[in-house]
Amino acid sequence: MARILTLTLNPALDLAIQCGPLRLGEVNRTESTRLDAGGKGINVARVLAGLGHEVTVSGLLGTDNEAPFVRAFGECGLRDAFIRVPGETRINAKLSEPGGRVTDLNGPGPQIPAHALDSLTERLESMLPGLDAVVISGSLPPNVAPSKLAGLIFMVRARQVPVWLDTSGAALMSGLAARPSGVKPNETELAEWAGHPLDTPEARLQAALRLNAEGVEDVIVSAGAEGVVWAQRGSALMATSPRVPVVSTVGAGDTLLAGMLHGILSGLPRERGLRFATALAAESVRHVGVGEPRTADFEQLQQQTLVRSLSSDSFTGGNPG
Ligand X SMILES: O=P(O)(O)OC[C@H]1O[C@](O)(COP(=O)(O)O)[C@@H](O)[C@@H]1O
Tell how strand 228-232 and strand 218-222 pair up.
antiparallel
Which part of the chain contacts ligand ADP (CB under 6 A), choosing from 28-36, 59-67, 113-121, 218-226? 218-226
Q: Is 268 in the site for ligand ADP (CB under 6 A)?
A: no
Binds 39: which of ligand X, ligand ADP, none (CB < 5-8 Å by kind): ligand X
Considering Cα of 66, then 281, then 286, then 187, what sign does the dihedral take? positive
Position 102: which residue type? V
Residue nearest to ligand ADP (CB): 253
d(CA 154, CA 79): 24
Report the nearest approach of ligand X to the CB of residue 258 (Å): 9
Report the nearest approach of ligand X to the CB of residue 139 (Å): 3
Give the 3-state DSSP-derived string for 22-44, with helices as H, strands as E and coil as C. Answer: CCCCCCCCEEEEEEEEECHHHHH
b/e string for 5-20 if b means 16 or more Cβ within 10 A?
Answer: bbbbbbbbbbbbbbbe
Number of residues assigned to the chain: 321
Q: Rule CB under 6 A: choose which of 89, 186, 248, 314 binds ligand ADP.
A: 186
Position 169: which residue type? G
Specify the residue, 186 or 314, whose C-beta has the smaller distance to ligand ADP. 186
Q: Is 182 in the site for ligand ADP (CB under 6 A)?
A: no
CB 176 within 8 A of CB 165: yes
Q: Rule CB under 6 A: choose which of 102, 155, 225, 268 binds ligand ADP.
A: 225
Active site residues: 254
Q: Is 285 in the site for ligand X (CB under 6 A)?
A: no
Q: Is 285 in the site for ligand ADP (CB under 6 A)?
A: yes
- By the criterion CB under 6 A, which residues form the site for ligand X? 10, 12, 14, 38-40, 43, 92, 106, 138-139, 168, 250-254
